[in-house]
A and B are shown apart, each in its own frame.
Chain A
């Protein structure tokens, strides 16, 4: 006689293999210890003064706003891309998906260099645009947004694509048989179904953009108030004023945690 499925699952969960727990504990500690070490080195008494400096305020404001702008851009372009990858079949789709994920696995500084070749003043696209209009992405706040989007968009596309795959396509089929137009189905059925994955993807994308360093410094440069984001400020402060660097890092950690913590389990397991 077979036991009911639910009970079988519960029984499986209770038999935790003996090696699993200590390894999991090591994994957690490995991530936690460096942050604890950072906290232990933090100049708590001077924190107020360090964080009130213009360099910190400028960098924080720039980081937060450019990460938001990059997330908006990534949603505008990335959700349609995720839909195409999840719902259509075309030759070269696996190549397209690999291409989308490339910025995730490459060193960001490679991305920054590639962006320069494409959108720099003598770049493939940037050159003609600059000659015609004088508009230039590098060394501007738009350059920071471009670098952030390039590096962070894959996190959104990947999350939304898997959310769309998990959604039951029969709802869309049913809506179609009832006469709903394609765009109506997309807005009223597809997007609401993928909602949690879109939220999770946007949050991951934003957090990644907030921490972006390599592509930003390579493509957009480094100037306080214009292109110097928190990670760039931390990097240079580490060489001159370690207390300020740690204080900046604390802010970055606090802001990131505040955004990541509310992510519920269900949003990450879409």
Chain B
């Protein structure tokens, strides 16, 4: 168990480093102009700082002026969007104003089948993730997850709340996210089915405060 955890920590470290390198399509820093900060990629900033709490369709349907976008981005930053500094806020607000301004075209809502809508929240059988190892899950969570999701899994600067959520009963979905990463969340490809199951069994014991 201890060696497995060590491997995971190594994997996580590698993953974190990997996530720091610019993604495909990002604007590369200009060479040897050290006084000039590297250009930002606003689309990536939106993905990494907005869509862990809400999907990007909520953004794409807005038709707001630059002043309104600045106000929205500032409000979201105050609510916990982990944009690093004012430069990032300004870049995101300007990009959103250019893309989703008052004169942008109509936004169409997709028609989603009623069964698919219900299935998106429904519990799935645990299958290979079935576990009763609450203590083991607690240990793994403390080692791998609390840095971002908080000691009680209630969410923190980077990670979202994981207490009392429908996704805790959708182990296959959780496993996919954990192993491939999401936004700023690094992938944990080495986590086994029973380990993910143990983490879920621990998270299911947590209750939010009244």
Partners in one complex: no
